Chains A and B, each alone.
Chain A
Amino acid sequence: MKTRNAFQYEEQFVQFIREQKERFYLLAYSYTKNEQDALDVVQDSIQKAMLSLDRLENVDYMKSWFYKIVVRTAIDFLRKHKRLQVTDDDTLHYLTPAQEDSYEDVDLEYALDTLPQMYREVVILHYFEDLKLADVASILDIKLSTAKSRLYKALQLLKIQLQDVKGEITHG
């Protein structure tokens, strides 16, 4: 029974991975902030997934199931390597190139990057990866209500930050 599942889903899984690999990479990158580490996370995730493909009950869950693996692998990776980013605002400002033209882009990126991981992952999964909040909650192993409140808080933070950014631009 178990092995049948695995073989049945393998083709679909391979296709799914090939089609969506850029998305997984970006998700991994949002945690690792580093090209090589993100590639490692993607590779580990695929390997883990293929080994436990027989535990996937329904092929419809493949997407959120695999995102869960990527998220966990990425978090494990950060924990193992303790490479959490501890960059304060001043340093970031200092490192940001002082070019008027690219200001907006840099600050947008900065806005997402400075968002604490627990808020950032909700935003990415829900808005950028088009996952239902219930799925996001299950991927992150949190309650639906927690996911909702984190998303709300994230939007609040982003709004404030983005407004601040605009203020800076007009003033500066």
Chain B
Amino acid sequence: MDKKLKDLEQTYHNIPIPQELDEVVERALKQNRQKKKRRTPQWLIGSAAAALLFTASLNVSPAMARTLADIPVVGSVVKVLTWTEYELAEDTYDATIKVPAIENLTNPALANALNEKYRTEGKALYDEFVAEIGDLKKNGVEAHLGVDSGYEIKTDNEQILSIGRYVVNTAGSSSTTIQYDTIDKQQEILITLPMLFKDDHYLTTISENIKEQMRAQMADAEQGKIYWLDEETMPGESFTAIRADQPFYISEQGKLIISFDKYEVAPGYMGVVEFEIPTDILQNDLVSATYIH
């Protein structure tokens, strides 16, 4: 090689290498490995695509929805679908919001009310997120922000459909909230917590039972569970009683499940916590044994 070129190459290689390079490279390699592990299996993409197509045709064609509802097997399966999905992925911002829709209820008022609520809340969540990152960008703040929202069907039997919608907000640490809607599929009514009981006494009954369960769980040190029960450890923040509109659902076995958001009654690592309330302690308060038994 020409002498000049050799000198040129020398100067090229003399450019200082920053110390961060090692770290940057290792981080990039590691990040991708994690990403790869989390990658959706091929078959799931296939069935997700099929489900999407299915959903799309149901949304597009009421005729098809009706036809399917008439077929007994499919009709009893098709109850909750993903109506819309909001997605946003930028360098440090991530949003996935799945909005469910309940189909095939013959009571249109109930179906519309719920679906409208889901759609409005889903859209609001998305708009809020977009506004927030817009603010951050305008102020030149670099931040990692994410929102992940979706739904899960807790119970779907002859009588009851319980659907839970969760929102996970990530900004450094994450917070999770979850809301439930429970429907009586036969009567086609939305079940609320107060309507299950004769009077307000259930609030005390359930709260006392939850406290007992908390104490019992904490007594077993091996489980490492902690609840904010003690006024001394969490002054002003400790759990005293459930709210009248505390999130709840009815399990497949007809048990009442009370749910608390992350951080509501326990430290973050406990996540969303649930308590199953034994039916026998509720006997005196329950209106009937139709839903909870």
Using a CB–CB cutoff of 8 Å, the interface residues on chain A facing chain B are 6, 10, 14, 17-18, 21-22, 25-26, 29-30, 35, 39, 42-43, 46-47, 50-51, 104-105, 108-109, 111-112, 123-124, 127-128, 158-159, 162
0/1 string, B149-189, CB within 8 A of A gives 1: 00000000000000000000000000000000000000000
| Shortest distance between the CB of B17 and any CB in chain A (Å) | 5
B13, A46: Cβ atoms under 8 Å?
Answer: no
**Contacts known (A29-B15, A111-B8, A124-B12); A22 close to B31, Cβ less than 8 A:** no
**Contacts known (A42-B25, A43-B28, A108-B11); A25 close to B4, Cβ less than 8 A:** no
**Contacts known (A158-B4, A159-B4); A21 close to B11, Cβ less than 8 A:** no
Q: By the criterion of a CB under 8 Å from any partner CB, how many residues of chain B are at the interface?
A: 27
Q: Once the chains are docked, how many angstroms separate the CA of A39 from the CA of B5?
A: 26
Q: Once the chains are docked, how many angstroms separate the CA of A47 from the CA of B13?
A: 25
**Contacts known (A43-B28, A51-B32); A128 close to B21, Cβ less than 8 A:** no
B21, A105: Cβ atoms under 8 Å?
Answer: no
Q: Once the chains are docked, how many angstroms separate the CA of A103 from the CA of B149?
A: 61
B280 contacts the other chain (Cβ, under 8 Å)? no
| Shortest distance between the CB of B21 and any CB in chain A (Å) | 6
Q: For B21, give its contact among A14, A21, A124 (CB under 8 Å).
A: A21
B29, A14: Cβ atoms under 8 Å?
Answer: yes
Contacts of B36 in A (CB 8 A): 6, 50
Contacts of A50 in B (CB 8 A): 28-29, 32-33, 36
B232 contacts the other chain (Cβ, under 8 Å)? no
Q: For B8, give its contact among A6, A47, A112 (CB under 8 Å).
A: A112
Contacts of A47 in B (CB 8 A): 28, 31-32
Contacts of B21 in A (CB 8 A): 21-22, 25, 39, 42
B12, A128: Cβ atoms under 8 Å?
Answer: yes
B5, A127: Cβ atoms under 8 Å?
Answer: yes
**Contacts known (A22-B17, A46-B25); A127 close to B32, Cβ less than 8 A:** no
A112, B12: Cβ atoms under 8 Å?
Answer: yes
Q: Once the chains are docked, how many angstroms separate the CA of A124 from the CA of B11?
A: 12
A26, B11: Cβ atoms under 8 Å?
Answer: no
12 A-B interface contacts by CB (under 8 A): A18-B25, A22-B17, A25-B17, A25-B18, A46-B29, A47-B28, A50-B33, A50-B36, A51-B32, A127-B1, A127-B8, A128-B12
Select from chain B the residue with minimum beta-carbon distance to A7.
B36
Select from chain B the residue with minimum beta-carbon distance to A115.
B8
Interface of B is mostly: helix
Contacts of A29 in B (CB 8 A): 15
0/1 string, B21-37, CB within 8 A of A gives 1: 11011011101110110
Contacts of B12 in A (CB 8 A): 26, 30, 112, 124, 128
Using a CB–CB cutoff of 8 Å, the interface residues on chain B facing chain A are 1, 4-5, 7-15, 17-18, 20-22, 24-25, 27-29, 31-33, 35-36
Contacts of B18 in A (CB 8 A): 25, 35, 39
A43, B11: Cβ atoms under 8 Å?
Answer: no
Contacts of A42 in B (CB 8 A): 21, 24-25, 28
Select from chain B the residue with minimum beta-carbon distance to A127.
B5
| Shortest distance between the CB of A65 and any CB in chain B (Å) | 16
Select from chain B the residue with minimum beta-carbon distance to A18.
B25
A43, B22: Cβ atoms under 8 Å?
Answer: no
Q: Once the chains are docked, how many angstroms separate the CA of A35 from the CA of B19?
A: 11
| Shortest distance between the CB of B214 and any CB in chain A (Å) | 44
Contacts of B31 in A (CB 8 A): 47
Q: Once the chains are docked, how many angstroms separate the CA of A16 from the CA of B17?
A: 18
| Shortest distance between the CB of A130 and any CB in chain B (Å) | 10
Select from chain B the residue with minimum beta-carbon distance to A26.
B15
Q: Once the chains are docked, how many angstroms separate the CA of A43 from the CA of B29?
A: 9
Contacts of A158 in B (CB 8 A): 4-5, 8
Contacts of A21 in B (CB 8 A): 21-22, 25
| Shortest distance between the CB of B14 and any CB in chain A (Å) | 8
| Shortest distance between the CB of A29 and any CB in chain B (Å) | 6
B9, A17: Cβ atoms under 8 Å?
Answer: no
B24, A105: Cβ atoms under 8 Å?
Answer: no
Contacts of A6 in B (CB 8 A): 36
